[in-house]
Every structure is written in C-alpha cells, then in structure tokens.
C-alpha cells in the first residue's frame, strides 16, 4: 500500500519474533535448527508503516474500528484481516500436559517443534504414530512430510519400521505403499494417556462414531485441531463455522465493503497454506486499491492454489 501512495498504513502485530513456520517440518525432521526459523519482527516489518505492538481482541466493523488489548480503540478507513488460525491442543483430552512426557511432540508449535527431533532420536522400537486430524488445518501436507522425514531417519538407523486434493492424495498413497507405512483412515484422536503411552481414537464411519480404539505408542506426533481466532469467531465478520466470511473471488468481506481478509482466518475454499496466501495477496492488493477509488472489484481466482 505504501507503493500505491498511501501515507498512513498501520500494522497491528504483538509478536517481537517472527517465525518462518514452513521450516518447522525440517526442524522437526532434524534438517534445520529452530533458530534458523526465527527473526525479529522488526526485520520483516515493511519500512514506513506504523507498527502497533498490540493484539486485536474485538472487531467493530460497523464503526470502522478494532479494539486492542493495550491501546484500546483504533479507527480505520480500510482493513485487511490476516490473523491466521488458532491451535487448539486442549480439544484433545490429556493435552497439552502430555507434551511434558517422552515421545509426544508436534511441529506446529514453537514450544514443541524441537521435541519432534528429540522423539525421533529416542525412538528405538514400537509404534510411531503421526496424526492427520479431520478439521481444516494449516499446511495439511506438513503432518505427512514430517512422517516421511521420520521414516527416512529410522531407515538410515536400520530400525524396522493423506491430502484433500485428489491429485496429490493419489500420489501420496503410492509413497505410503513404497515406504510400507500403515495408514488408518477415519480415526480421530480424542485422548492421550502418557502414563500408559496410549492414544485413544474415535472410529468414524458413514453413520458417525462407531466406538473407540486404543493404540500404544513410543512416539506420537500431534497435529492439533485448529479453530478460528476468537476475535474473529465472535465478531460480525464471521460466518457459521467461525471463519471470516469473504467473497472467494475478491476476498472482500461479504458484509463490510471496506474490509478484506486473507489466509487461514478466512472461509475461502482452498488449502490453508503459504502458497494459498501468496496467490491471494495479489487479489487483495488489487481490490483494495479499486475499493479505495470506489471502482468495481476484480474477480480473481483464489481457490485453485494448494
């Protein structure tokens, strides 16, 4: 927006550290260090913007305002919402407490990503279980990528040892067969019992739940359930599932013409990935510029990116 001539651009972001999260698959897979994924937020903040180091707690789009934790009410003329998605480990019984025990790990959190590499190093025998949950998650390929990295590591040590897009799912099924990995479909993790090293799964069928099944584990990689940020879910910007309701072609809010959304926090019917955000960013910039001039928005393709 600064390149478009706007002089008053504000970014509200509370974090002092910016994490390049796509690298966490490689951190968990023992290929990269955690520190290599971290940079000060000041280094990635565009020059010339007003950085408010605060957290948005509520939206008031009818008044063209957001309310923050420390600074209170902040007015805007136009707003881009890019809050991402919230990790909800607590929706699985036994978490997050089980992360304090051996073998339980997750590449999705800065707190637990290094535990994944340690869990791989400690694994000697038994079951290594990798979870791919039912609900929409960010980077749906990451749980499988860390699985393949673990398999590669275990194979090197001579230890004995999918995706919503059909095109990729078929290819990944072939990878699973080649690597002789066991895949259990329609199993939803509902509880972790670290004392007995057991993972409890709800078995799902066409008629709904059909009981539970327990698997022993020595390593358990958790991809957590993910939910919309509460500030969006409880705001007028949300729709039924709690994600921000936007026009999938323009990324404009369906309710407020001066508000746009991008990325994981929206209900755009595509994968929640960095590639998707990259595809959406051009659409947002172009349409925000048109909206500021009172012109008709461009109908872009934001759904054909995975």
Model confidence pLDDT, tens digit, residues 210-236 = 789 999 999 999 999 999 999 999 999
CATH of the domain at 41: 3.50.50.60
Closest of 241, 254, 272 to residue 82, by C-alpha: 272
Please confirm whether the linkage preceding 96 is cis (ω < 30° from 0): yes
Q: How confident is the model at residue 185 (pLDDT cuts 50, 70, 90)?
A: confident
**How many structural domains does the chain have?**
2
Per-residue pLDDT tens digits for 100-153:
999 999 999 999 999 999 999 999 989 999 999 887 899 999 999 999 999 889
One domain, residues 188 and 101: yes
Query: Cα–Cα distances in Å, from 192 out to 60, 92, 142, 206?
Result: 39, 7, 21, 25
> Residue 157 contacts by C-beta under 8 Å, 6 or more apart in sequence?
none
Q: Decide: helix, strand or coil at residue 194.
A: coil
> Residue 87 contacts by C-beta under 8 Å, 6 or more apart in sequence?
108, 109, 224, 226
52: containing domain: 10-86+227-293
The CA distance from 249 to 268, in Å, is 9
Q: How confident is the model at residue 160 (pLDDT cuts 50, 70, 90)?
A: very low
Last residue in a domain, options 226, 252, 274: 226
The CA distance from 61 to 69, in Å, is 17
Question: Rounded mean pLDDT of the chain?
Answer: 90
One domain, residues 196 and 286: no
Least confident of 195-199, 207-211, 213-217: 207-211
Q: Give the predicted TM-score (pTM) of the model.
A: 0.86
The CA distance from 54 to 87, in Å, is 20
One domain, residues 216 and 157: yes
Last residue in a domain, options 205, 226, 247: 226
Last residue in a domain, options 211, 226, 241: 226
Q: Decide: helix, strand or coil at residue 15.
A: coil
């Amino acid at each position: 927006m600064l390149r478009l001539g706007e002089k008053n651009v504000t970014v509200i972001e509370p974090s002092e550290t910016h994490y390049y999260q796509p690298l966490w698959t490689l951190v968990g897979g023992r290929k990269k260090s955690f520190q290599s994924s971290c940079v000060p937020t000041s280094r990635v903040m565009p020059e010339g913007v007003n950085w408010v180091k605060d957290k948005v707690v509520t939206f008031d789009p009818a008044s063209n305002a957001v309310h923050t934790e420390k600074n209170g009410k902040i007015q805007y003329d136009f707003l881009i919402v890019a809050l991402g998605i919230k990790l909800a480990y607590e929706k699985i019984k036994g978490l997050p407490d089980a992360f304090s025990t051996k073998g339980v790990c997750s590449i999705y959190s800065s707190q637990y990503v290094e535990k994944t590499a340690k869990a791989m190093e400690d694994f000697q025998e038994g079951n290594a279980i990798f979870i791919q949950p039912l609900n929409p998650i960010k980077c749906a390929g990451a749980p499988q990528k860390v699985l393949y990295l673990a398999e590669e590591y275990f194979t090197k040590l001579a230890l004995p040892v999918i995706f919503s897009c059909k095109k990729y799912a078929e290819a990944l099924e072939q990878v699973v067969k080649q690597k002789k990995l066991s895949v259990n479909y329609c199993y939803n993790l509902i509880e972790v019992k670290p004392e007995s090293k057991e993972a409890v799964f709800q078995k799902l069928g066409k008629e709904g739940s059909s009981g539970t099944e327990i698997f022993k584990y020595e390593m358990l990689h958790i991809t957590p359930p993910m939910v919309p940020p509460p500030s969006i879910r409880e705001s007028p910007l949300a729709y039924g599932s709690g994600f921000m309701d936007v026009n999938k072609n323009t990324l404009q809010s369906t309710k407020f013409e001066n508000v746009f959304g991008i990325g994981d926090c929206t209900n755009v019917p595509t994968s929640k990935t960095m590639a998707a955000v990259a595809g959406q960013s051009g659409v947002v910039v172009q349409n925000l510029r048109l909206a500021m001039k009172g012109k008709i928005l461009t109908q872009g393709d934001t759904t054909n990116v995975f």
